[in-house]
Each structure stands twice: as structure tokens, then as C-alpha cells.
Amino acid sequence: MKALQYVTVGAEPEVREIPTPEPGPGEVLLKVTAAGVCHSDDFVMSLPAEAFTYPLPLTLGHEGAGTVAALGDGVRGLDLGTSVVVYGPWGCGTCWFCAQGLENYCSRAAELGIYPPGLGAPGAIAEYLIVDSSRHLVPIGDLDPVATVPLTDAGLTPYHAIKRSLSKLRPGSWAVVIGSGGLGHVAIQLLRHLSPARVVALDVSDDKLEFAKSVGAHEAVLSNPQAADNVRKITGAAGASLVLDFVGYQPTIDIAMAVAGVDSDVTIVGIGDGKSAARIGFGVSPYEATATAPYWGARSELIELIDLAHEGVLDIAVERFALDDAPEAYRRLAAGTLRGRAVIVP
């Protein structure tokens, strides 16, 4: 089968012919219908050799959708041909976090060598994908897999981040979304659907600001050295109740902290350079403001998101690429010229 693989540290990923895998005991083989391209892959591929810990070559893609093509021994309750999406942050399934459905915070994954597809285990940008357990599949019925696959990360990550702060979002409050790309454009829609807050979006070009408004942002502001002042003019002295930073470099974290209000949540989702940080302290940050950096989301939350998708309230912007053109999708991602999510359709 064909797969997009990261082969050499520092080089572009390549489309290669590799053996089609067979499901072992407990595993499920999917025929991939769609696979999303996430900025985190770009971060992973920017790591120098000494910091890159996954085995190479690595098949990319941690947002996956497919139809059930074969079942390993012992898999029950799943029919061949079922259309599913993949819950990506695989855990052990039995520790305290996993028992809550929070496999993204599995306390034993590292010790057991369990990695998400595309981030250690073979990923979804391929003709076929092995999923380690039927527990990690959510049936999507007649939803379009191409428009639905981004929900597994570009949807799930903001959904988890927003849900934990919903109590802060009251009528009259403001939420700020920094970075209106793959995750950000879903975050804006989730904020509008789940909360009464008004939404200010930030990005670096007028095109992106127009895009943010088209998916529901009330206001849009260029992300530049004046951004915090310009956001403050909109929110007034109260500032924002929730700031979601989908970029995560020092300049955007500084904007996030500067627009945050008293008793707000500042949620840093973007990886940035992997080193930037928010400063919290008396006189440094707003009273009772909390800063956090979450990772992905819970299994139950992906099920909720798929239910939301069935209601037709989400409009996920996707740009489709054939598997042979997957390297181009990554170039467009790095150049910042995608509108919404790039999705590879094998």
C-alpha cells in the first residue's frame, strides 16, 4: 500500500510503497477514507535528531477515518464496512485516567510503549491503518468522513479546552481565539454553539481574519504588537474570560496574558517552539487568572462531538489532497496558506 512517511530527520515526508498490515489479536484494520494534516506534525518534523524519539520511518497522520476492513482475533461488536473515526490519544485503557475516558492523560502509556497513530505508531496517511483496539473507534454513520475526520483532533482538542472553561463564559463575557487555522476555526464555532460569550479572533492576515468571521467570530484583530491594546478596546476593562492560544509562541502567549481578565482561563494549546511560557504571579498576571496547557481530549468528548456533527451545527473547512499530493499539503501547512484543515483522501 501507499503511505506518507517521515523517513529522514529534517527532510520532507515521502509517499512510499510499504506492506499492507494485517490486524493482530484485538486490532482492527481500517481502509482509510480520510486523514487530517495537523500543525503538530510540522513541529515533530522540526525536531533535531537528538530530540526526535519515534522510530523511523514513521507513517504520518494522527487524524484518521476509515471503514472497517478486517478484525483481529477476539474483536467483537464491530461490523465489517462500518464507517468510523479514530480516537487518537491511545492509552492503556485501565489506569485511572483511561477509566475516565481521558486516555490522552494515560499514566502508563510511556511505560507500555503505547503511542498515538502518526505520533509513534503507524499513522493514518496511508491506504490502510491498524487501530490497536475497537475502543478507539467511533462510528460516524452517514457523515462525510472528509469533513468529519478533523473532529478527531482539530475538533476534539478545542472541545476539551472549551468544556473545562464553560462556567466562565457567561452572557456579556468575551472569549479570545488566537490563530484561526485548523483548530482555531473549529474553536470559534464551538464557542458560538456551546456558550453565550462573544468571540474575538486573532490571526496574521486579513484573509484569515475574514475566514474567522465567516465561521462565527464577532470581531477579528490582526496579531501584531498592538494586538493586546486593540483587543482590550473591544473587551473593555474586564478583559477576556477565556483566551485560547492556538499558536503558543512567546508573542502570542504574551498577548493572551495581556488580554486576560480577572478570574479568567488562559489555555495554551499551540506548541509554538515547545519552550514558550505564561508568567503567573502577584502583580504579573490578573487576579485569579489560571494558565494551562492541555493535550487533546477524552474518548467521551469525541463521541459528543460526533453527536454534534450529526446535528449539523459544525461547518469544517477542508482542503482535499490526494495521497500522492500529501507532501504538498504539508508545504501549504508550513506556509500558513491553508483555509481550515488539509485532508488527505487516499
Residues in 101-130 at the binding interface with Zn ion, rule: CB under 5 A: 106, 108
CB atoms within 10 A of CB 51: 10
Q: Quick check: 231 binds ligand NAD (CB under 6 A)?
A: no
From 333, 343, 344, 345, residue interacting with ligand NAD (rule: CB under 6 A) = 333
Mind giving me the DSSP string for 141-175?
Answer: TTS-HHHHGGGGTTTHHHHHHHHTTGGG--TT-EE
d(CA 146, CA 284): 44
Pairing state between β 219-222 and 198-203 = parallel
Q: Quick check: 120 binds ligand NAD (CB under 6 A)?
A: no
Nearer to ligand NAD, 26 or 294 (CB): 294
From 83, 134, 223, 267, residue interacting with ligand NAD (rule: CB under 6 A) = 223
Q: Which stretch binds Zn ion (CB under 5 A): 16-24, 90-98, 221-229, 329-337?
A: 90-98
From 32, 35, 38, 259, residue interacting with ligand NAD (rule: CB under 6 A) = 38
Residues in 24-83 at the binding interface with Zn ion, rule: CB under 5 A: 38, 40
Per DSSP, helices labelled H in the chain are 39-46, 96-99, 109-112, 145-148, 156-163, 182-194, 206-214, 227-235, 250-259, 299-310, 326-335
Q: Quick check: 39 binds ligand NAD (CB under 6 A)?
A: yes
d(CA 235, CA 256): 13
Q: Quick check: 98 binds Zn ion (CB under 5 A)?
A: yes
Nearer to Zn ion, 104 or 173 (CB): 104
Q: Quick check: 285 binds ligand NAD (CB under 6 A)?
A: no
Cell numbers at residue 283, please?
A: 502583580
Q: Quick check: 86 binds ligand NAD (CB under 6 A)?
A: no
Nearer to ligand NAD, 32 or 333 (CB): 333
Q: Quick check: 115 binds ligand NAD (CB under 6 A)?
A: no
> How far apart are CB 68 and Zn ion at their closest, in Å?
23
Q: Quick check: 153 binds Zn ion (CB under 5 A)?
A: yes
Cell numbers at residue 51, please?
A: 530530540
> How far apart are CB 47 and ligand NAD at their closest, in Å?
12
| Radius of gyration, CA atoms only, the chain | 20
Q: Quick check: 150 binds ligand NAD (CB under 6 A)?
A: no
Cell numbers at residue 108, please?
A: 502508563
Contacting residues for 138 by C-beta, under 8 A, at least 6 apart: 84, 85, 86, 87, 302, 303, 306
Q: Which residue is nearest to ligand NAD (CB)?
A: 181
From 24, 141, 196, 336, residue interacting with ligand NAD (rule: CB under 6 A) = 336
Q: Which stretch binds ligand NAD (CB under 6 A): 15-23, 213-221, 298-306, 333-341?
A: 333-341
Q: Exposed/middle/buried for 144, CB within 10 Å: 0-12, 13-18, 19+?
A: middle
Taking Cα atoms as reference points, which of 139, 81, 37, 87 lies closest to residue 345?
37
Mind giving me the DSSP string for 5-62?
Answer: EE-STTSPPEEEE-PPP---TT-EEEEEEEEEE-HHHHHHHHS-GGG--S-SSEE--S
From 195, 252, 264, 267, residue interacting with ligand NAD (rule: CB under 6 A) = 252
Number of H-type helices and E-type strands within the chain = 11, 16
Site residues for ligand NAD per CB under 6 A: 38-40, 43, 153-154, 157, 178-184, 202-204, 208, 223, 246-248, 251-252, 269-271, 294-296, 333, 336, 338
Binding residues for Zn ion, rule: CB under 5 A, are 38, 40, 91-92, 95, 98, 106, 108, 153
